[in-house]
Structure 1
Amino acid sequence: MDDRVSYAYAVLRGHGVPGGALEALTGVAGAPVRLVTSGPLAAAVSPVPAADFDEDALRRHLEDLDWLEAVARAHHTVIEALSAHTTVLPLRLATVYLDDERVRQVMREDDAAFTEALERLAGHLEWGVKIYVDAPATAAEPPGAGEGLSPGRAYLRARSAQRHTRDQAYRAAEEAAARVEAIGRELAAAHARHRAQQGRLAAGAGENVLNDAFLVAHEQAEAFRSRALAAGEGLPGVRVDVTGPWAPYSFAALPGRARSEEDPADAAP
């Protein structure tokens, strides 16, 4: 058995990438990136060690944050490099096949679905919108507000003021979210909601309460970005971050299949 398997990054149209675009591009494990073609379709792949991507090894690696981060960074780098030239259908992290011929077989079997997905995504990129609640840990009181109170009553008053401030911030975040959704309905072709980020995934101060993705046409991108950034204006304790543009990771499900179902392009054979 060959000690290498084919790691697949994305499906795209084979004619969309210039000949020299892949020459300096390296992927997972520092491997070169090449195109495997099937008719008008192509898949970007790299040869990677089979021992690192069998079921048992992947289970171990997925608990190793450093390994996972390195693979995710390489995966993302390849997809973003390709998306600078053409529409791409990103595949899930750690999508591997026995060999290039198996990659071709998958593209042949789902040719119509891949083609329809690429047509749907053409001319669009993904933008992310995150809303954070950044209410202060303590609420400021007017001068003299606690005078004449016992320590216990002063403490309770301070806690009540703190809760009031946080409640106001959460209500403001709901208003910001409603504004973002309205902007998306007007300017985006599709909308995906993701779980709010916590821990190492959360960027910056505050609590992430909304983590959404929008599929936006190139000609609407600047309007979407500027209006989404303004969604938090006049709302104290709320911060809105806009990221992108990215390849359309959140909208890569094949037509007619729920995102929770296993796509042939995502499954290791």
Structure 2
Amino acid sequence: MAVSEGGLLWLYAVARDSVPVEVTGIGDAPVRAVHAAGLCAFVSTAPAGLSDAGALQARLEDAEWVARTAVEHHRVVAALASAAPVVPAGLATVCRDEARITATLVRHAAGLTGALDRVTGRTEWGVKGYVRGGPAPVPETRAGGAGTAYLERRRAELSARDRRHDEAARDADAAHAELARRADGAHRHAPQDRRLTGEPEAMVLNGAYLVPDERAAAFAAAVDALAARYPTITLRLTGPWPPYSFVPALGAEPSDPDRVPGDAPVHAGGPA
């Protein structure tokens, strides 16, 4: 069934069967299921105004719209994931009609089924690590006037900050290795800029970990223990999240002539 009025279908997640949860999609659009190959894709009509690829591309260049829509997208994915294992779709994964979604499910049935097997009974947790701040040493003032003293003090502050960052980075590597051993899967995302984190200190760890549900409490305790072991870093546990970091990307093949912007997903709401 094609989308009415030439709109696009917004994809949230794929599961094995219909998920017994009622949730509205972005813009309060009804979420419905598309079945094929023993799988079920959850979709809604795309937000108002997204009638074609050009309109979607324009929206993706609007940071405020992307941030707001990411929250709504994650709300739906999280509701579905709370009821059954899912392969989440990235933000702005869209298809032109249900026939294309059905074709995607059939084409990728084996991979999607394998991904669902992998995440069943497991949840993604994020751990973010930041350089733990501290005062920089201030050298004694030497002869030569206030200007010389200021330059020496500034050099000392910068040197101390660099050393603190390097030590924190090494400890973050060790913490990540330990957490990865405690998980069934681990992925290290690129550190986020301070403008995104809102933190005064630099991020040195942005890890995602696929943890069996029965070991979630032990994993959280391990994060606390590592924070105490490594005084150079501040560790923060985030989650639980749907398994954004441990599933294949949902979208059209790059060679697909009908591919639209957004078929290559951008993660939303997750730990990245």
Structure 1 residues 203, 176: CA separation in 2 closer, same or farther (over 3 Å shift)?
Answer: farther
SS in 2 for 1:9: strand
The residue that corresponds to 1:152 in the other structure is: 147
Report the Cα offset of residue 147 of structure 1: 6.9
Residue by residue over 1:120-146, the C-alpha shift from the partner in whole angstroms, topping out at 9 and shown as x without a partner, is: 11111111111112435x62548xx33
Report the Cα offset of residue 231 of structure 1: 2.4
The residue that corresponds to 1:63 in the other structure is: 61
Matches within 5 A, 1:67-216: 67-136=65-134, 139-141=136-138, 145-146=140-141, 150-216=145-211
Report the Cα offset of residue 238 of structure 1: 2.5
The residue that corresponds to 2:17 in the other structure is: 14
Asked if structure 1 preserves the Cα contact closer than 8 Å seen for 2:127 and 2:206, the reply is yes
SS in 1 for 2:78: helix
- Give the whole-Å Cα distance in 2 for the aligned partners of 1:155 and 1:73: 47
Report the Cα offset of residue 158 of structure 1: 1.3
SS in 2 for 1:61: helix
Report the Cα offset of residue 49 of structure 1: 5.2
Asked if structure 1 preserves the Cα contact closer than 8 Å seen for 2:8 and 2:52, the reply is no
- Give the whole-Å Cα distance in 2 for the aligned partners of 1:156 and 1:187: 47
The residue that corresponds to 1:231 in the other structure is: 226
Asked if structure 2 preserves the Cα contact closer than 8 Å seen for 1:62 and 1:68, the reply is yes
Which aligned segments of 4 or more residues in structure 1 are displaced greater than 6 angstroms?
263-266
Q: What is the TM-score of this pair, normalised by structure 2?
A: 0.82
- Give the whole-Å Cα distance in 2 for the aligned partners of 1:222 and 1:53: 45
- Give the whole-Å Cα distance in 2 for the aligned partners of 1:234 and 1:114: 39
Residue by residue over 1:38-75, the C-alpha shift from the partner in whole angstroms, topping out at 9 and shown as x without a partner, is: 24311111112574152211221112122111221111
Give unmatched runs, 5+ long, in structure 2.
Answer: 265-272
Residue by residue over 1:170-221, the C-alpha shift from the partner in whole angstroms, topping out at 9 and shown as x without a partner, is: 1331232133222233211122121211154214321112212111111222
Asked if structure 1 preserves the Cα contact closer than 8 Å seen for 2:88 and 2:244, the reply is yes
Which is worse superposed, 232-241 or 126-135?
A: 232-241
Structure 1 residues 234, 183: CA separation in 2 closer, same or farther (over 3 Å shift)?
Answer: closer
Asked if structure 1 preserves the Cα contact closer than 8 Å seen for 2:13 and 2:41, the reply is yes
- Give the whole-Å Cα distance in 1 for the aligned partners of 2:79 and 2:131: 34
The residue that corresponds to 2:263 in the other structure is: 267
Structure 1 residues 267, 64: CA separation in 2 closer, same or farther (over 3 Å shift)?
Answer: closer
Residue by residue over 1:96-127, the C-alpha shift from the partner in whole angstroms, topping out at 9 and shown as x without a partner, is: 11222322222122211111111111111111
* Counterpart AA for 1:6: L
Asked if structure 2 preserves the Cα contact closer than 8 Å seen for 1:169 and 1:236, the reply is no
1:245 equivalent to 2:248? Answer no
Report the Cα offset of residue 167 of structure 1: 2.9
Asked if structure 2 preserves the Cα contact closer than 8 Å seen for 1:253 and 1:263, the reply is no
Task: Give the % identical residues.
Answer: 37
SS in 2 for 1:14: coil
SS in 2 for 1:94: coil
- Give the whole-Å Cα distance in 1 for the aligned partners of 2:158 and 2:60: 39
Asked if structure 2 preserves the Cα contact closer than 8 Å seen for 1:88 and 1:247, the reply is yes
Q: What is the TM-score of this pair, normalised by structure 1?
A: 0.83
Report the Cα offset of residue 81 of structure 1: 0.5
- Give the whole-Å Cα distance in 1 for the aligned partners of 2:78 and 2:120: 15
Report the Cα offset of residue 78 of structure 1: 0.6
